[in-house]
Amino acid sequence: MESLSRPYPPSHTQLLPADRPGTITEAAAEARAGNLIVIPTDTLYGLAGDAFNAAAVRAIYAAKQRPFNKPIPILLADSHDLDRVVRTVPDVARSFINQFWPGPLTLLLPKHPDLPAEISNNDSVAVRIPDSRVGREIIRAAGGALAVTSANLSGQAPAETAVDALNQLAGWVTAVVDDGPSPHAAASTILDCTGDELKLLREGPISAKSLLGLDKQ
């Protein structure tokens, strides 16, 4: 039953070496066309689609078999695109941005009204800039902002390599960009900056001690 719901035959998914000429342009074109792709990041491989395309965001949920009450983060290529996806950036959040971006820190911030409702079922959005040259080049070429979550089926092991992602998502995505094993075999740290008090929602490669130490400076 699962294979019947895939929009393409598994053989339709291309595995593209990151260092092959044209890979960045080709992958970005797929995302701009509304298709799903897999990109490398500095944490795990990511299942990605156009952050401003509601149908693409819905397709991410379908591909992962993910409940709609689990929001989809947004990855940016450059900090100047932040204003496109969030309403405001609290001063404390700017401190973390300056210290840890690009890097494996996701910040929860007030969601911009131009984003599709499918991105999250509340008034916040998870955002970061990954420390991956190839990942950022694809994001930049695709328009600057992609909705990205780990490239695996819900409940299965996250993809640390492009082949891992291909094995789980072939037929759901049109391209998987292979940039070698992920530098961090763990999801990013998540910090909620939307309230009066900071909340650590998930500890990842950046420790709570590092974050709290910065906040006390």
What CA dihedral angle connects 34, 16, 136 and 58, to 10 degrees? 30
Paired strand residues for 173: 170
pLDDT tens digits, residue range 32-71?
999 999 999 999 999 999 999 999 999 999 999 998 899 9
Q: What is the pLDDT of residue 210?
A: 86
Surface-to-core class of residue 67, CB atoms within 10 Å of its CB (0-12 exposed, 13-18 middle, 19+ buried): exposed
pTM of the model: 0.94
Residue ranges of the chain with pLDDT lower than 50?
1-4, 215, 217
Q: Under CATH, which architecture does the 3-215 domain have?
A: Alpha-Beta Complex (3.90)
